[in-house]
Amino acid sequence: MVAAVPLPAVMVVLVGAAVMLVGAGAGAVRVRGGQQQKQLRMGFYDKSCPAAERIVGDYVRQHVRRVPTVAPALLRTHYHDCFVRGCDGSILLNSTSAGAAEKDAPPNLTLRGFDLIDRVKALVEEACPGVVSCADVLALAARDAVTAIGGPSWRVPTGRRDGTVSSMQEALRELPSPAMTFPQLAALFARKGLGVRDLVWLSGAHTIGIAHCSSFANRLYGYAGAANGTAPPLDAAYAANLRQRKCRMGGHDTTVEMDPGSFLTFDLGYYHAVLKHRALLQSDAALVTDAAARADIAGVVSSPQEVFFQVFGRSMTRLGAVQVMTGSEGEIRKSCSVVNS
């Protein structure tokens, strides 16, 4: 786990709104979402399944060592889970004759890691049948995968329950779009109980991301520029290079590293790219259209990398608590891809 580093005085002001209040002693985390209050707890399975977190961590670390790209894949899957119906594992459910599930929505068709989560869940079920939720397995696996490639660690309070509903239409409605403006992104995050600084720090996950050319083709071909009030255009030289080498018009929908040269290193490269107008997605470029967000980015890139790790981790803890089900709500799925019969 990354050791805690004291934040510079200027950064205390910067990240104040992003810090989750963690209860002392019992490790309970109070989560406010809409009109509800929920509680997750550090060490929730200490008595009911004491080996759970070790099983998840050991398997994920072993796999990430062989296939490092699983880290961004699991992190993205966790993101997409939490933005639709909260962090309830509904992204893991398969479609049925009753309707198409979240994972079959176009924005989710490039998600990976479902088989890995199924294997981890099977190991946990073998140790403790019917105890640990798929939602918790996914939240823990995302954290452990990022840490395994040298990225930050963060608190993952557990006790989530699994949802029984998964809707492709809800995914289309609730997931952030790469074409969103800053006000649209801020409004979407606010509906999830997340602030503007959470938006800024969670976007930092793109330091280990890739993007398909189709997701930013409008910024390469026929983009109108900043005059439309959305985001500044791509750096001209960078855009020309992409058009020539990676994203040729009419070519295959290839992928481009969002942090070229270090896309499997969790660092500040993404934020440097944003400030240089080399962010691929319009939604990333839009971060600099808000004065406060731009100032936050400028502040973090001039600070030690550990500062980014801390603010990212705190926002991840907040994301992992979005609209969770606890207690007797939902269920503990036996298999993550189907609801219990």
- Residues acting as catalytic residues: 80
Cα distance between residue 201 and residue 223, in whole Å: 27
Measured at the CA of 175, the angle between CA 338 and CA 22, to 5 degrees, comes to: 85
Partners of residue 31 on adjacent β-strands: 38
DSSP per position, 148-179: HTT-------B---B-S---HHHHHHHS--TT
Instruction: Please answer whether residues 27 and 41 qualify as being in contact, where contact means their C-beta atoms are separated by less than 8 angstroms.
Output: yes
Q: How many CA atoms lie within 13 A of 41 on its CB side?
A: 12
Ordered DSSP codes for 16-59: GGGPPPB-TTT-EEEEEETTEEEEEETTTTTTT-TTHHHHHHHH
User: Which 3 state secondary structure label does DSSP give 257?
Assistant: strand
Given the structure tokens 């079959």, which residue do they identify? 104
Amino acid, res. 202: L
Helices (H), 67-217: 70-83, 114-127, 134-148, 168-174, 182-191, 196-203
At how many degrees (to 10) do helices 305-319 and 70-83 cross? 40
CB-CB contact of 149 with 68 (8 Å): yes
What is d(CA 163, CA 157) in angstroms, rounded to the nearest whole number?
18
For residue 25, what are its two tokens? 């002693």
Instruction: Give me 209's structure tokens.
Output: 């991301």
